[in-house]
Amino acid sequence: MEPSLPARCRLLPLRIRGDSRGSLIALEKATGVPFDVARAYFIFDTREGVSRGCHAHHRLNQLAVAVHGGCTMILDDGEMRETFRLASPDQGLLIGPMVWREMHDFTPDCVLLVLADAPYDTDDYIFDYEEFRRLAGS
């Protein structure tokens, strides 16, 4: 069963290709990434009990993939707040602008790949949850 997600988020199935040698998933605009990738990064070696994210973006679109292991995602668009487990490399989580995101409960082996449609820009971040709620409500 697919989780209920805020309106600016959705799960994208990622096609696994492979043969007897192993598996491969290509992340390309032509095969499902709904934006031109301007930045890619990955989160790994996250210590037990640590939370990541805890912010929103004014304009940024991102696609998150748990390449290995998993983590709990909390997504909040100001109207809906949902929690689910992202733990499969064949599933991408599209996170649109003005969505508060938190990541918790990382497995020790988690590698979370994130693709973004713009370079890093500190002015695009909203780090205060109350400010985010105020902006999301307007």
Domain assignments of the chain as residue spans, ordered by start: 9-16+25-137
Closest CA to 94 of 111, 117, 71, 78: 117
Q: Please give the backbone phi and psi of residue 106, each rounded to the nearest 5 degrees, phi first.
A: -70, 135
The length of the chain, given as a count of residues = 138
Read off the pLDDT of residues 74-126 as tens digits, 9 standing for 90 and up: 999 999 999 999 999 999 999 999 999 999 999 999 999 999 999 999 999 99
Q: Which residues pair with 68 in a beta bridge?
A: 111
What confidence tier does 29 reach under pLDDT thresholds 50, 70, 90?
A: confident
Alpha carbon of 60 to those of 71, 80, 110, 116: distances in Å?
21, 19, 23, 7
Global pTM reads 0.92
77 contacts 99 by C-beta, under 8 angstroms: yes
106 contacts 46 by C-beta, under 8 angstroms: yes
Residues marked active site are found at 55
Domain 9-16+25-137, what fold?
Answer: Jelly Rolls (2.60.120)
Work out the percent of the chain whose per-residue pLDDT is above 90. Answer: 86
